[in-house]
Amino acid sequence: MRIRPQSVGFTIFLGALSALPPLSIDMGLPAFPTISAALGASSGSVGLTLSLFMLGFAVAQLVFGPLSDRYGRRPILLIGCGLFTLAGAACTVAPSIGTLIAWRLVQGAGAGAGMVMTLAIVRDLFEGGAARAQLSYVNLVMSVAPMIAPTIGSNVLAIAGWRGIYGTLAVGGLLLLLCVAIGLSESLAHRDLGAIQPPRLIKNYGRILTNRICLGYALVNALNFGCMFAYVSGSPLVMLNVLGVSTTTYGWLFASTALGIMAGSFLNGRLSIYGVLPSRLLIVGIVTATASALALVVISLSGAAQVITLMPLLVINTFCRGIISPNAIHGAIQPVPESAGVAAAIVGFMQMLCGAVASGLVAFLYDGHTAIAMSGVMALFAIASLITYIGLVRSAKYT
């Protein structure tokens, strides 16, 4: 009953693990007003259920990565899925907003195990173009989550209330837990018995953070994620408040950019299988993403921001994310197979950090009547990603 690594089912399984964070975030958003009324909590307190989830998700990766190098990927996935399931069940019956916030922190930690183990497992089992293709297809499956999560959340909210949303997440976590227990073989061939000893742990983290190739690729991925997350956090402000589109229309517009990521991931997977060099794919993706972000700035500053002028550039930008992410992540974890868990943890933590900074900047700079904050932050992170790739990654390869 083991899932074969070369099968479509294996890719779907890894994609489902990676989809836990967006599902956990986006499914609950429609229920925020209901939770506030039901638990007698302020909007800010309900918002902490999202902030604490993301904190748990980010920090847990730094813990689970080294643990997986010591004990293997499968035990850590069992723990992570177990935590996610338990926390989902506890959120379902939470009697107060404080309890809900606490268990969301635990739920985020469980989701963090799924993300970091996905990257480590791909590094364990695949090489070269096959690894980049696998990451592309996982990214493709994962991109479906933000498209369907708000709709699922709204429907569950209408049928079973806000508690039903967390119950649904608990059931999803339980199904993944069973898949790991029954169908997943251990992918780590040689365990590092000293991986969690403080001197070795510090050395492993230091070795990756001082490796210009690993650090450079991790930063390229994280900064590009910041560019995309500036869009994710800024798009409702721009589309709903500035341009006045309906919530239904916004849902379709958001779905079109998610389709852009899926298309980029699929194309990258096919080109990787055909032997196209990752350096070529990366430079084309990064330059195109930067150009589209700068074009968004020009349109925003000129006062020509409309749905018809913004959306083509936003789709192009997210399409580039589907190309950049698999190649950059592979470049970051490929050179250190003996510490793939630590490398994957660094990749995931940096990505979440840049996403949090980007969304914070958009919220801080938003003026209430233009798209300048969203487009400006997108351009800032896109340019930083391009500079990092040229100045850190490519320069390191030629020195």
Residue 197 CA to residue 357 CA, distance in Å, equals 31
* Predicted model pTM: 0.83
Look at residue 397 in the predicted model and tell me its pLDDT: 64
Structure tokens of 309? Answer: 């002028």
Q: What is the DSSP letter of 187?
A: -
Of 208, 187, 250, 258, the residue nearest 14 (C-alpha): 187
Residue 219 CA to residue 392 CA, distance in Å, equals 9
Amino acid letter, residue 222: A
Local confidence pLDDT in tens for the 399 residues of the chain:
688 888 888 888 888 888 888 888 878 877 878 888 899 988 778 878 877 888 888 889 888 988 998 899 999 999 999 999 999 999 999 999 999 999 999 999 999 898 889 888 988 888 888 888 888 888 787 777 777 787 788 888 889 999 999 999 999 999 999 999 998 888 888 888 887 888 888 888 888 888 889 999 999 999 999 999 889 878 888 888 888 888 778 878 888 888 898 899 889 989 988 888 888 999 999 999 999 999 999 999 998 889 999 999 999 999 999 999 999 998 998 888 778 888 888 998 898 889 888 888 888 888 888 999 999 999 999 999 999 999 888 876 655
**Region 197-399: CATH code:** 1.20.1250.20
Amino acid letter, residue 231: Y
- Which 3 state secondary structure label does DSSP give 58? helix
Residues of the chain with CATH 1.20.1250.20: 1-185, 197-399
**Secondary-structure percent of the chain, ordered helix, strand, coil, rounded to 5:** 85, 0, 15
- Whether residue 322 contacts residue 265, with contact meaning beta carbons closer than 8 Å, is answered with yes
| Cα of 227 vs its chain's centroid, Å | 13
- Whether residue 235 contacts residue 358, with contact meaning beta carbons closer than 8 Å, is answered with no
Query: What is the fold, at CATH topology level, of the domain defined by 1-185?
Result: Growth Hormone; Chain: A; (1.20.1250)
